[in-house]
Structure formats: C-alpha cells, structure tokens
C-alpha cells in the first residue's frame, strides 16, 4: 500500500520562531523515522509529506496515496487537529485515526465531557471560565482542578492547577486566560489513582489494549499528570499495567460514545472512594516509541511497535472498506461532478 505520512515536525517550527512550549505537542525526527520504518517493515511504500502546507501543495499537484497516516497536531484554532483529516476527506483520501469532527470535539475538554454526560459516562462536575468575571458564578465545592480547555500534553496543568479556594481559582484563571487565550476548565478534583487506557479499533468492537496506572514519586507534582511531570517522567513517574475492569469499562464506554477510531488513549482518575471517572480522550495519541504513553503501555505488555502501527493501518483500511469496497471511487466521482 502507498501510504503518505503527515506530521508537524518540532524542529521546523522552532526554526520559525516558535517557543519550546508551543511546539511540545509536535513530533521529533525520531518519531517520524520510527513510524516510517515500521510502515516500510510491514510492506508499505512510504511518502513523507509533512505538515498542512506541504500536503496542500502535493494535492494541488494531483499527488495521491492509498492512505495517509496522519499524526499532525495542527497549528491554530480549536479544531487544529481536524485540519488535515478534513482536507483529506475533501479529496476522498482515506486516513488513519478518528474523523475530523471527532478530533475537533475531542480537543475541547468541556464539549467532550458534555457528550460523556449525555452517554452516562461518569465524569467529574465541571464549569467553563470564558472570562475572568465568570469566576464569581462558580458554585462547585473546593478543592477544584483547573486546566486550559483545549490543550494537549498537559500544557497549562501545573502545581497551580489544584485550587483550594476562590482566590487560587481567580489567580489561575487570570494567568491562563491571558497566557493561553482560551477558556479554562474547572472541575471537581479527583484525589485517587490515575490511569491511561490504550484503545484499538472502532465502535463496539474496539479493544482495550491495557490499563496503565500513572504513579507519581516523591519528586513529582502529587496533584496530577502535570506538564512538568510529563516532560520529566523519567525522574517523576512510574508506569504499571494493572487489572482494573471498571476502569477499562469506562474507557471503552467513552471511546464508543465519541465514535473514536483506530487507536488512542482514554485518561481516567479515581475519586477518594475508588470510583473511576473519565478525564479526557486522546484520539490522536503520541507515537514516539520511547516516551509516548500509548507506546509505553504496549511495551510493558510486549506488544511490538511495528505491530501497533500495522494494527492502526488495518483498522483504518477496514473502516473505509466497510463503507463500501469502492468508497474512494464513489467519493472521487462526487467531487468530479460537483
């Protein structure tokens, strides 16, 4: 299969003047090399495309692929992860991972939690602060936990995120409304254990790859999986595969509710009584073979990296075949006649 590879390369954006924190979600050369090598080892022909502008240029030159393996995070806007999938849909080119509308919704943690509530997925009580004046209307009991509503890689989750009183809440919101230029999610703090669950596949047939507990040591920020904890995980965090059927069940329920596809992660945390609650879903999970959570989870269970990459490709291809064996031709005919 001829597979195009789309991605945002960290070094390219640093060269353009982006700060290290602004590019933390983007991929390094090691990740791109690993994915390309895995695809080639599995018998595919790989074309490295790169970011959105590079994809647009190739499409306008009538270049096409059987499928695009997309891991681009996008730049700018609350639907940035959906930009390349939406463009590929417009050109009737199959791609890995969830549909554009799913990626757009999943990046907004508040919208996602609203959907989870509609599907009876347990999630902590929450509110959204869109402007500083909104703090006065918050009636949730402390302690609370704060984070930017549409960031990944724990950006904006710091030792200030655990809020003990209204003064701390107002201070956090004032800082991060200005710094991140997006709303702040405030939710009931869950004081129990933290987990990430690997998911593979689509719909009711999706498979739980494993439940991995995230354990913080004495050097870590104890209140959660903060940005610093994630960036310095070697010294702050240990990971363990655990048997937690209730956690796995909530993850599967969340994955299905949002119609996520192919592979990703669902993050959960327990309250003080041991009940598991949905935190967020990552339908475009990192794939660095050394330090990405999904890859660590697979490694701890002796699931090879090349196997994971091929399962993602197979899952995506199966989705499009189930639509119709000649789905791509049908879409191209529609575009040609429009």
pLDDT for 222:
66
Q: Supply the CATH number for residue 265's domain.
A: 3.30.470.20
Cα→Cα distances 231→160, 211, 220, Å: 17, 21, 11
Q: Which of 69, 104, 139 is the last residue of a domain?
A: 104
In a domain, 334, yes or no: no
pLDDT of residue 302: 97
Is the same domain home to 184 and 198? no
The CATH number of the domain where 80 resides is what? 3.40.50.20
Asked whether residue 21 is domain-assigned, the answer is: yes
Are both 8 and 52 inside the same structural domain?
yes
pLDDT at residue number 274: 97
Task: Characterize 159-196 residue by residue with b for buried, 16 or more Cβ atoms within 10 angstroms of its Cβ, and e for exposed.
Answer: ebbbbeeeebbbebbeebbeebebbbbbbbbbeebbbb
pLDDT at res. 234: 77
Q: How far apart are CA 170 and CA 177, in angstroms?
A: 10
Q: How many structural domains compose the chain?
A: 3
For 224-237, b/e burial (b = at least 16 CB within 10 A) is bbbbbbbeebeebb
Question: Which residues, 6 or more positions from 28, have their beta carbon under 8 angstroms from its beta carbon?
Answer: 9, 10, 11, 288
Q: Are residues 45 and 145 in the same domain?
A: no
The pLDDT of residue 228: 63
The reported pLDDT for the residue numbered 325 is: 62
Per-residue pLDDT of the chain (338 residues; tens, 9 = 90+): 999 999 999 999 999 999 888 888 899 999 999 999 999 999 999 999 999 999 999 999 999 999 999 999 999 888 999 999 999 999 999 999 999 999 999 999 999 999 999 999 999 999 999 999 999 999 999 999 999 998 876 788 888 999 999 999 999 999 999 998 999 999 999 999 999 999 999 988 899 999 999 998 877 776 677 666 666 677 788 999 999 999 999 999 999 999 999 999 999 999 999 999 999 999 999 999 999 999 999 999 999 999 999 999 999 999 998 876 666 666 666 556 55
DSSP characters over 229-288: HHHTHHHHEEEEE---HHHHHHHHHHHHHTT--SEEEEEEEE-TTS-EEEEEEETT----
Range of the domain at 179: 125-188
Q: Establish if 34 belongs to a structural domain.
A: yes
Question: Is residue 261 in a domain?
Answer: yes
pLDDT at 125: 97
Of the candidates 40, 70, 104, which is a domain's last residue? Answer: 104
Distance CA(303)–CA(212), nearest Å, equals 14
Write down the pLDDT at residue 330: 64
Rounded Cα distance between 165 and 180, Å, is 22
């Amino acid at each position: 299969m001829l597979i195009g590879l789309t991605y945002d390369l960290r070094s390219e954006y640093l060269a353009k003047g982006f700060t290290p924190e602004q590019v933390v979600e983007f991929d390094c050369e090691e990740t791109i090399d690993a994915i390309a090598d895995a695809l080639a080892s599995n018998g595919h022909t790989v074309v490295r495309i790169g970011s959105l502008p590079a994809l647009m240029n190739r499409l306008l030159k009538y270049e096409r692929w059987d499928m695009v393996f997309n891991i681009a995070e996008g730049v700018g806007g609350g639907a940035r992860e959906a930009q390349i999938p939406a463009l590929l849909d417009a050109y009737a080119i199959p791609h890995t991972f969830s549909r554009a509308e799913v990626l757009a919704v999943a990046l907004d943690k508040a919208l996602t939690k609203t959907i989870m509530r509609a599907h009876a997925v347990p999630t902590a009580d929450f509110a959204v602060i869109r402007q500083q004046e909104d703090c006065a209307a918050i009636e949730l009991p402390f302690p609370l936990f704060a984070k930017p509503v549409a960031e990944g890689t724990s950006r904006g989750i710091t030792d200030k995120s655990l809020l003990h009183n209204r003064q701390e809440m107002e201070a956090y919101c004032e800082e991060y409304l200005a710094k991140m230029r997006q709303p702040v999610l405030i939710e009931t703090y869950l004081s129990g254990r933290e987990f990430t669950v690997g998911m593979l596949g689509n719909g009711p047939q999706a498979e739980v790859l494993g439940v991995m507990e995230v354990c913080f040591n004495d050097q870590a920020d104890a209140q959660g999986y903060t940005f610093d904890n994630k960036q310095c995980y070697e010294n702050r965090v240990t990971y363990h595969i655990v048997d937690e059927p209730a956690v796995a069940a909530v993850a599967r329920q969340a994955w299905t509710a949002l119609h996520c596809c192919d592979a990703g992660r669902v993050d959960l945390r327990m309250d003080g009584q041991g009940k598991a609650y949905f935190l967020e879903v990552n339908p475009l999970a990192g794939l660095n073979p050394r330090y990405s959570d999904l890859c660590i989870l697979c490694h701890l269970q002796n699931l090879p990296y090349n196997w994971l990459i091929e399962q993602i490709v197979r899952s995506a291809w199966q989705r499009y075949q189930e639509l119709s064996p000649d789905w791509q031709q049908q879409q191209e005919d529609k575009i040609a006649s429009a």
